[in-house]
Amino acid sequence: MNDTITILVADDERPIREGCHRVLTGNGYRVLTAENGRVALDCLSKDAVDILLLDLKMPVMGGEEVLEVVRTRYPHIPVIVITGHGTVDTAVECMKKGAYDFITKPFQVDQFMITVRRAADKKKLEEKARLYEEEKLRTLHDLGLEKSRLKTIIFCMGNGVMVTNRDLEVVLHNPALMRLLEHSKIMENPFPISAILNDEPLIKTLQQILDGKISENEAALQEIRVGKNVLRAISAPVLGPEKSIVGAVIVLENITAFKQLDEMKSHFVNMVAHELRSPLVSVRQLNHVLLEGMAGALEEKQRDFVSRGCKKIDGLLELINDLLDVAKIDAGQFVQRRIPTDIRQIIEESVSLMEPRAKEQGIELSCCCVDLKPVHADPKNMEEIFNNLISNAINYSPEGGKVRVTANGLGEYVEIKVEDTGVGISPEELPKIFDKFYRVKHPKTRRVIGTGLGLAIVKGAVEAHHGTIDVESVVDGGTTFRILLPVMKQEGREP
């Protein structure tokens, strides 16, 4: 919007026109002049005029006629009537017909400028109001368009979507939601969520979201069953002004097919592993019979071949056992029993078991356990965890390196660290080391044989015991694995 006000002075008296021009331009206004009504209308059609100073008595076309045209064609222009003492009544009638104000000749400059400024302020306020109204209309149009787009997107989604208010009433939902929840009845918003959903854990989670117990940056994931289907529910808070929680949004996804596929995979792995392990164990036993000379003496070359075959079979059996462990972890069946377990004893036994191997490779292996309390765990799983970590530390340490195992009591937790002075792990590989079948790529570790499942099993076993595991490493500076396991409470229950 241009801040300079343009004023058109329409008067047949030249001194009035020139006097108005001089006074108004001196006060920062842009001034146009016209000697009669016809010229004034011509100026209005060609230029943007903000205020019209209009004399009533002019030749060719008088002020009253101009006022009629201006009121029709330019209703937004304030008209100030210039009149003599003899036409005051006429000026008043003009104001009734739409004129903004009038001034009488001869007029005082101060009074004249007060009237003009008042008209200018009115014009500016009307212009601002018009712009605000246009902006409001644009905003409403954009909101309406955005709402329409959002509604179209939500209604076309294959996943179910619903939004609730703070009273757990559904205020928005799409057809996919009703289909997934197996509701054929058409529901008009708003309605209680209990009318379509009776899963108590999910409703409890929604209440926690509304109570602010789940932050705005978090989303709660749950699985619910509806008929024969398994649905994944992703719930998050809906934020209003000043980030206040005004409701919750829930997205439902049908994962039945993925569940079935995962179950089929687990069954397949179990079946293949068992079917492979039995004949391999038999072949291994037969080879050992040959090695022990129970089927006759073997020459050196024959013994070497049979011994190599046994090592290959051992490698295959290790892979099969790892696959079975992974399948159990995925199925949540890895932990078979939980009993009060002495972590110190298991660590010391693992270190003792690995010592000959460490000495063979020129590695110094040590351990230190301080202030340990029993944990509620499966001893077999604990052995597998420490054997895996210590074995890796030895494998990835150069000759003359050190591997140190420490365990300390930290209040409600036991902290176990397995530290080595090996080749280390690069920062880009650290996030991947617990992935299944992932092996660190390093020229010095190519000789190390493994399945890439060991650390995935360790992580699964630790988490199955409600613990955590993390890793720190420096390339060519060593690696440290840190485990936290909850200790048993006094009364013998898990924390």
Q: Which residues pair with 364 in a beta bridge?
A: 402
The answer to the question of residue 86 being in a domain is yes
What pLDDT does 316 receive?
A: 80
Are 405 and 482 contained in the same domain?
A: yes
Tally of residues, the chain: 495
Given strand 478-486, what is the order of strands in its sheet? 364-370, 402-410, 413-420, 478-486, 468-474
Q: Any idea what DSSP says for residue 188?
A: P
Residue 249's alpha-carbon distances to 168, 180, 329, 429, in angstroms, are 11, 16, 32, 36
Residues whose CB is less than 8 angstroms from the CB of residue 310 and which lie 6 or more positions away in sequence, other chains included: 284, 287, 288, 291
When divided into structural domains, the chain yields a total of 4
Q: Which residues pair with 235 in a beta bridge?
A: 220, 250
The answer to the question of residue 113 being in a domain is yes
Are 53 and 127 contained in the same domain?
A: yes
Residue 131 CB neighbour total at 10 angstroms = 11
Are 164 and 116 contained in the same domain?
A: no
What is the chain's Cα-based Rg? 44
Please state the φ and ψ torsions of residue 405, each to the nearest 5 degrees. Answer: -115, 125
**Residues 281 and 310 sit within 8 Å (Cβ to Cβ):** no
Pairing between strand 402-410 and 364-370? parallel
What pLDDT does 495 receive?
A: 42
The answer to the question of residue 228 being in a domain is yes
The tens-digit pLDDT sequence of the chain (495 residues) is: 457 889 999 998 898 889 999 999 999 999 999 999 899 999 999 998 999 998 888 888 988 889 889 988 998 899 998 887 666 777 778 888 888 888 888 878 888 899 899 888 888 888 888 888 888 877 777 766 777 777 777 777 788 888 888 888 888 888 888 888 888 888 888 888 888 888 888 988 888 888 888 777 778 888 888 888 889 888 888 888 777 888 888 899 988 888 888 778 777 777 776 777 778 788 888 888 888 878 778 888 888 888 888 888 887 877 777 777 777 766 666 666 788 888 899 999 999 999 998 898 898 999 898 888 888 888 888 888 898 899 888 888 888 889 999 999 888 889 999 999 888 888 888 888 888 777 766 655 555 566 677 788 888 888 888 899 999 988 888 899 999 999 887 544 444
Q: Which residues span the domain enclosing 213? A: 158-254
What pLDDT does 6 receive?
A: 92
Instruction: Cis check for the bond before 106: say yes or no (omega within 30 of 0).
Output: yes
3-state DSSP helix/strand/coil percent for the chain, to nearest 5?
A: 50, 25, 30
Are 250 and 282 contained in the same domain?
A: no
What pLDDT does 32 receive?
A: 93
Q: What's the CATH code of the domain at 377?
A: 3.30.565.10
